[in-house]
Amino acid sequence: MYFDIDKLDQKLSYKLLASSIVPRPIAWVVTCDDSGRPNAAPYSFFNFFSGFPPVICIGMGLQRGEPKDSYANIKASREFVVNLVPSDLAEEMNTTAVPFPRTVNELEVAGLATTSSTKVRPPRIERSPVALECRLNQVIPVDTTGVILVAHVVAVHIKDEAVVNAEKCYLDPSKLDLLGRMESPGWYTHTRERFKMKQLGVEEWERKEKEG
């Protein structure tokens, strides 16, 4: 079916894309305000766009016309931590998405312990199997509806159990048991089921064609 997205309003345009561009990884963003009080919230307009230099982007919308707390904190401090969400923390992640007032520490409300980061002020979530310490590089405004943050990853923490060979950075992602976000409202997927397929060069592809 054809959809002329130019004719859709903000809500429908979001719905169409958020239901078709799936699954999306979830950046569980921890920031600090001026006084050092942490804030946490999930963001699924997220991915990495360069491995070297290590660059990630996150899309943050507005809440009642105002920047969300995560963006307000990142704009001021230029630092944050992206934690990835394992399936056993789904409920806790969901709790941190509640639009509490700015003074509320969602990590405390969700009962999540944190541990110090290495290079940035915001802490990381102790039970998250992947934490990326990030520094803001660029803010790209998206019309009047939000911003895209471009950031460098400055430190990476992976839970020991998922590291197969540290020197070669060889991980076993099945041990991370991460969640992906599906369509709204409220659908998620596990990342436990996978299959392997090698990317081919021209010669390999020709050989495969000949072999039938």
Ligand X SMILES: Cc1cc2nc3c(=O)[nH]c(=O)nc-3n(C[C@H](O)[C@H](O)[C@H](O)COP(=O)(O)O)c2cc1C
Task: Examine residue 92 and tell whether it contacts ligand X (CB under 6 A).
Answer: no
How many angstroms separate the Cα of 190 from the Cα of each of 147, 181, 193, 212? 28, 9, 8, 34
CA distance 90 to 83: 13
Using CB under 6 A, which residues numbered 18 to 57 contact ligand X?
Answer: 26, 39, 41-45
Tokens 């660059």: give the residue. 55
* Helix, strand, coil % in the chain, rounded to nearest 5: 25, 35, 40
What is the full DSSP assignment across 53-82?
A: TTEEEEEEEEETTEE-HHHHHHHHH-EEEE
Of 32, 56, 57, 70, the one binding ligand X (CB under 6 A) is 70
Window 98-117: contact mask with ligand X (x via CB under 6 A): -x------------------
Least CB distance to ligand X at residue 96 (A)? 7
Task: Examine residue 60 and tell whether it contacts ligand X (CB under 6 A).
Answer: yes
- What is residue 35's DSSP assignment? T
Tell me whether residue 40 or residue 131 sits nearer to ligand X (CB atom). 40
- Chain Cα centroid distance, residue 151: 12
Task: Examine residue 124 and tell whether it contacts ligand X (CB under 6 A).
Answer: no
Tell me whether residue 37 or residue 163 sits nearer to ligand X (CB atom). 37
Instruction: Determine the size of the site formed for ligand X (CB under 6 A).
Output: 18
Task: Examine residue 181 and tell whether it contacts ligand X (CB under 6 A).
Answer: yes
**Contact residues for ligand X (CB under 6 A)?**
26, 39, 41-45, 59-61, 63, 68-70, 94, 97, 99, 181
